[in-house]
Chain A
Amino acid sequence: MFLPHLALRSLANRLLTTLLTVLSIALSVGLLVGVENVRTGMRESFSNTVSGTDLIVGSRGGTIQIMLYSVFGMGSPVANISHETWRKYDEHPAVAWTIPYALGDSHRGFRVIGTNGSFYEHYRYRGGQPITLIEGRTAHGVFDLVLGAEVAARLNYELGDRIAVTHGMSAVGFMNHDDMPFEVVGILDRTFTPVDRAIYVTLEGISAIHLGWESGAPPMPGQEVLAEDVLAMDEVPVSQITSFFLGAESRALTLQLQREISTHEEEPLTAVIPGVALSEMWRGIGYAEDGLRVISGFVVLVGILGMLVSIYTSLEARRREMAILRALGAGPKKIVSLLVLEAGLLSSVGALLGVGLVYAGIIGLQPWLEGRFGLLIPIQPPDGVQLAYVGAVVVLGLAAGLVPAAKAYRTALHDGLSLRI
């Protein structure tokens, strides 16, 4: 009853030290809780790189590999999928839609993806957000080309620019298909996913740049297929794609479809459930956050140590105060309680302030973080882990208070009522 009053007044009397101590604990707790929130946000953002897709189908290969080349634009497939196989599943009664991807070409280091209108219609990311065009229209002509937001920003392209596509993935292709001029017809809005770092053309466009390359080598001089030849064709034949995204008629059909595709007889296929694959991948790359968590744990320890030092050093100046309290009948235990209570007050106020700072920060910075980094940190009440952190900091603070309290206890017993100035 009275001790809290005394502790509060004593802390208020050393206002600057108290504020600095509380602030250092608040910042360290804020770092710990902030790291936890950013972790959650990163995991959420990562797991939602692609959403709404039930299966991603590629030629027989590893789950991660298919995810890497289809969703993250990294690495390349070992084999392709025939056009007929894709068509078969596109028309499958259990399948609502598919998005074909034809990979393997690039423009100045950015991937060129051959796809169709389905991409603009059905591709979803982060909680079901659709792909939107910020300028122009979707690609449907053979030489139409749509830029991802980052490609447009980096290369400074505008609608109407004509560009060439490179065969293979090197930044400076030595075999430029520069006889096939593509035209920028649209630019996508930013998604903060790998979608931003790719260029989109039609499946026919990809096929067109490979006309005459059927042997795998450049066409003999005089046998090149020119742009006007392609435009004169009624239909550019598409013979293969790399992978396709698939939306099932109902979620319940997904596993059945996955089994059916995996046992497809005509060619070896692998169907990946993206959500499962993404969380599997996160487990692999989430170690960095564990490191961050350990570091912020140590920062909290440093904050608590700072408090310990500040209380400990104040004791010398407070010997007189302790002797007065002793003379008035306070036992050594009361002196200990007073100091532990002060430590408890400092650490709990610090911890609460730290959590408050984090939430104020999330609320204030959320739009900016999402707009700048595509990192959506959810605003939700502190979960069990965070409350456990706060509890641990308070307990740690009380324990730290025992160190100066023990010194005060010894001093109180030894000094008696002699007052050393």
Chain B
Amino acid sequence: MTDGDACVLAHDLTFSYPGGDPVLDLPELSIGTGERVFLYGPSGCGKTTLLSLVAGVLQPPPGTLQVLGHDVGALSSPARDRLRAAHIGYVFQMFNLIPYLDVRDNIALPVRITAARRNRLSGSLHQAVAETAAHLGIEDLLNEKVTRLSVGQQQRVAAARALLGDPELIIADEPTSALDQDRRRGFLELLFQNVQDAGSTLLFVSHDLTLSDLFDRSLSLAELNRAGA
């Protein structure tokens, strides 16, 4: 496990929830830095578990998963939280936003919650939020309540939040599933543009294979995961 170029590198990665059967058994997975990877598979094939492990919310066995050069399984829980806060942007399927904060506060959340992401901003937080919002075309919505936004707008706010401070790895868990066909393409193009500008790696999970042609590489988790069989 010494691939210097790999952003995410899994080797014999297994995981089971306490008292349960293994849900993930991954002999090999490698995602290079700057790569845009499409990971697809039906629900229940271990997608969310894999993403939780990569993000460090769940703890893998030591020596089985490297993210940005860190052995995630060997890190303590706070260290994994810091790694996630500083270097990983995360977009959920839907309902990404804290309903009682406005758009600006939602985008600024990762910086507000931990100091780790703060150090990545070049200018002031206010300025960084405005710039990122402008990149995603939501600069006019900054003072809106998030409950007044359409689903498409909400996902763009979520993307802006994930991209704030240009983290090395963006993880997107079916972020387009709540959008209609036209908006899906539009959202993806916007996401790609920003990921590319930032030089980030994108790990995109979906069960919608029609999107796979837009990515550098497509992986079927169902095929990779021996536990899913």
Chain A contacts to B: CB under 8 angstroms: 2, 6, 9-10, 12-13, 320-321, 323-334, 414, 416-419, 421
Contact = CB atoms under 8 A, between A and B. Distances in A.
A417 B116 contact: no
Given A416-B52, A417-B51, A417-B173, A329 B95 contact: no
B113 A2 contact: yes
A325 B113 contact: yes
Given A417-B55, A418-B52, A419-B92, A329 B98 contact: no
B49 to A, nearest CB: 7
B85 interface: yes
Given A331-B77, A418-B52, A13 B100 contact: yes
A329 B162 CA distance: 11
A334 B100 CA distance: 18
Contacts of B52: 416-418
A333 B114 CA distance: 12
A327 B57 contact: yes
Nearest to B84: A329
A203 B154 CA distance: 94
Interface of B: 17, 48-49, 51-52, 55, 57-58, 77-78, 81-82, 84-86, 90, 92-93, 95-101, 105, 109-110, 112-114, 116-117, 161, 173
A419 B100 contact: no
A13 B146 CA distance: 12
Nearest to A325: B113
A419 B48 CA distance: 9
Among all A-B residue pairs, the 6 with the closest Cβ atoms: A329-B85, A13-B100, A416-B52, A331-B81, A327-B90, A2-B112
A333 B113 CA distance: 12
A320 B117 CA distance: 22
B93 A328 contact: no
A328 B113 contact: yes
A416 B49 contact: yes
A328 B109 contact: yes
Given A13-B100, A417-B173, A329 B110 contact: yes
Contact of A327 (B58, B84, B86, B112): B84
Contacts of A327: 55, 57, 84, 90, 92
B100 A10 contact: yes
B100 A329 contact: no
Nearest to A334: B113
Contacts of A328: 84-85, 90, 109-110, 113, 161
A10 B96 CA distance: 16
B99 A329 contact: no
Contacts of B93: 419
B26 to A, nearest CB: 16
8 contacts: A324-B92, A325-B113, A328-B84, A329-B110, A329-B116, A332-B77, A417-B51, A417-B55
A324 B113 contact: no
A417 B95 CA distance: 13
